[in-house]
Amino acid sequence: QKRVLVVGAGYIGMELGTVYAALGSRVTVVEALDRVRTWNKALDRLVEIYAGAVAGRKPLRIAVLHANAEEEAQRLMERVKSIFNVNDIRETVIVPVSPVIGAHTGPGCVGLTFTAGM
């Protein structure tokens, strides 16, 4: 089976991807996320993406990871928890990233990971 990678999709890219898929190719679409200009807007967008990914799936297990940014990780966790019913959340944890990841991200980085519906 042939594989096709569509980068930057848009209207024409999606049309081509649809044609290739109809012809039996395995199509992967890679599209950039929004550009956000401030830290708070970036966190809001992260939470919005997360909410869309887990919509209707429960229970939720949420982990916020950080590189020497525990206070920011706490704030991110509170933002995430504020958009869900407390009964839908089974577990939350805030943990530091490993030294290997921290060496690549640098201090101040936060991340969000989860399982839903399991």
Query: What confidence score (pLDDT) does residue 49 get?
Result: 86
What total of structural domains would you count in the chain? 2
Residue 25's identity, in one-letter code, is: S
CATH number at residue 68: 3.30.1180.10
**Do 51 and 21 share a structural domain?**
no
**Do 50 and 72 share a structural domain?**
yes
Query: What confidence score (pLDDT) does residue 9 get?
Result: 63
**Do 77 and 57 share a structural domain?**
yes
pTM of the model as a whole: 0.69
**Do 93 and 112 share a structural domain?**
yes
Query: What confidence score (pLDDT) does residue 85 get?
Result: 85
**Do 28 and 52 share a structural domain?**
no
Q: Which domain holds residue 109?
A: 37-116
Distance between CA atoms of residues 65 and 74, nearest Å: 10
Query: What confidence score (pLDDT) does residue 37 get?
Result: 87
Query: What confidence score (pLDDT) does residue 35 get?
Result: 81
Distance between CA atoms of residues 28 and 5, nearest Å: 5
Q: How far apart are the first and last CA of the chain?
A: 32
Determine whether 1 is exposed, middle or buried from the number of CB atoms within 10 Å of its CB (0-12, 13-18, 19+). Answer: exposed
Determine whether 45 is exposed, middle or buried from the number of CB atoms within 10 Å of its CB (0-12, 13-18, 19+). Answer: middle
Distance between CA atoms of residues 116 and 39, nearest Å: 26
Residues of the chain with pLDDT under 50: none
Query: What confidence score (pLDDT) does residue 58 get?
Result: 86
Q: Which of 43, 44, 91, 94 is nearest to 67 (CA)?
A: 94
In this structure, the number of other CB atoms found within 10 A of the CB of residue 105 comes to: 16
Query: What confidence score (pLDDT) does residue 67 get?
Result: 96
Query: What confidence score (pLDDT) does residue 91 get?
Result: 94
